[in-house]
Amino acid sequence: MAVDSTLSSPLSPPACEKDAKALHFIEETTRHADMVQEKVLAEILSRNAEVEYLKPFKLGGATGRETFKSKIPVITYEDLQPEIQRIANGDRSAILSAHPISEFLTSSGTSAGERKLMPTIQEELDRRQLLYSLLMPVMNLYVPGLDKGKGLYFLFVKSETKTPGGLLARPVLTSYYKSEHFKTRPYDPYMVYTSPNETILCADSFQSMYSQMLCGLIERQQVLRLGAVFASGLLRAIRFLQLHWQSLVNDIETGTLNQRIVDPSIRDCISKVLKPDQKLAAFIRNECSKENWEGIITRIWPNTKYLDVIVTGAMAQYIPTLDYYSGGLPLACTMYASSECYFGLNLNPMCKPSEVSYTIMPNMAYFEFLPHEPGSAGLTRDSPPKLVDLVDVEVGKEYELVITTYAGLYRYRVGDILRVTGFHNSAPQFHFVRRKNVLLSIDSDKTDEAELQAAVQNASQRLCEFNTSVVEYTSYADTKTIPGHYVIYWELLVKDSADSPTK
Residue 382 has pLDDT above 90, yes or no: no
Residue 453 has pLDDT above 60, yes or no: no
Among residues 287, 304, 321, the one where a domain terminates is 304
Among residues 409, 435, 461, the one where a domain terminates is 435
For range 130-136, the mean pLDDT: 93
Same domain, 403 and 494: no
Q: Are residues 447 and 438 in contact, defined by beta-carbon separation less than 8 angstroms?
A: yes
**Residue 479 has what pLDDT?**
36
Burial per residue of 67-81, b for 16 or more beta-carbon CB atoms within 10 angstroms, e otherwise: bbbeebebbebeebe
Is 287 within the bounds of a domain? yes
Is 209 within the bounds of a domain? yes
Task: Note every long-range contact of 8-17, with CB atoms under 8 Å and residues 24 or more positions apart, other chains counting.
Answer: 8/423, 8/424, 8/425, 11/138, 11/141, 11/347, 12/141, 13/141, 14/137, 14/140, 14/141, 15/137, 15/140, 15/141, 15/144, 15/147, 15/190, 16/140
Q: Are residues 421 and 357 in contact, defined by beta-carbon separation less than 8 angstroms?
A: yes
Q: Which of 404, 468, 495, 487 is nearest to 47 (CA)?
A: 404
Q: How many domains are contained in the chain? A: 3
Same domain, 297 and 381: no
Structural element, H or E, at residue 256:
none
SS percent in the chain: helix, strand, coil, step 5: 40, 20, 40
* pLDDT, tens digit, 9 for 90 and up, residues 265-318: 999 999 999 999 999 999 999 999 999 999 999 999 999 999 999 888 778 888
- Name beta bridge partners: 319: none
Burial class (CB in 10 A: 0-12, 13-18, 19+), 357: buried
Same domain, 78 and 210: no
**Residue 406 has what pLDDT?**
94
Residue 241 has pLDDT above 90, yes or no: yes
Same domain, 410 and 462: no
Same domain, 220 and 366: no
pLDDT band at 467 (very low <50, low <70, confident <90, very high): low
Same domain, 390 and 478: no
Same domain, 454 and 416: no
CB count in 10 Å sphere of residue 448: 16
Residues in the chain: 503
pLDDT band at 471 (very low <50, low <70, confident <90, very high): low
Q: Are residues 470 and 456 in contact, defined by beta-carbon separation less than 8 angstroms?
A: yes
Q: Which of 235, 207, 201 is nearest to 307 (CA)?
A: 235
Is 269 within the bounds of a domain? yes
**Residue 235 has what pLDDT?**
95
Is 78 within the bounds of a domain? yes
For range 31-51, the mean pLDDT: 95
Same domain, 155 and 221: yes
**Residue 470 has what pLDDT?**
65
Residue 351 has pLDDT above 50, yes or no: yes
Is 157 within the bounds of a domain? yes
pLDDT band at 454 (very low <50, low <70, confident <90, very high): low
* pLDDT, tens digit, 9 for 90 and up, residues 59-103: 878 888 889 899 899 999 999 999 999 999 999 999 999 999 999
**Residue 62 has what pLDDT?**
84
Cα angle at 75 between 71 and 80, to 5 degrees? 110
Residue 370 CA, chain-centre distance (Å), reads 22
pLDDT band at 7 (very low <50, low <70, confident <90, very high): very low
Same domain, 426 and 448: no
Same domain, 290 and 390: no
Residue 52 has pLDDT above 70, yes or no: yes
Its domain, for residue 465, covers 443-499
Mean pLDDT for all residues in the chain: 85
Is 316 within the bounds of a domain? no
Same domain, 27 and 112: yes
Is 113 within the bounds of a domain? yes
Same domain, 149 and 222: yes
Burial class (CB in 10 A: 0-12, 13-18, 19+), 28: exposed
**DSSP characters for 349-417?**
TTS-GGG--EEE-TTSSEEEEEE--TT----BTTB----EEGGG--TT-EEEEEEE-TTS--SEEEEEE
**Residue 438 has what pLDDT?**
46
Among residues 435, 461, 482, the one where a domain terminates is 435
**Residue 19 has what pLDDT?**
87
pLDDT band at 451 (very low <50, low <70, confident <90, very high): low
Residue 46 CA, chain-centre distance (Å), reads 31
pTM: 0.81
User: 458 or 8, which is more confident?
Assistant: 458
For range 2-12, the mean pLDDT: 50
Is 326 within the bounds of a domain? no
Residue 8 has pLDDT above 90, yes or no: no
Cα angle at 436 between 433 and 440, to 5 degrees? 110
**Residue 16 has what pLDDT?**
84
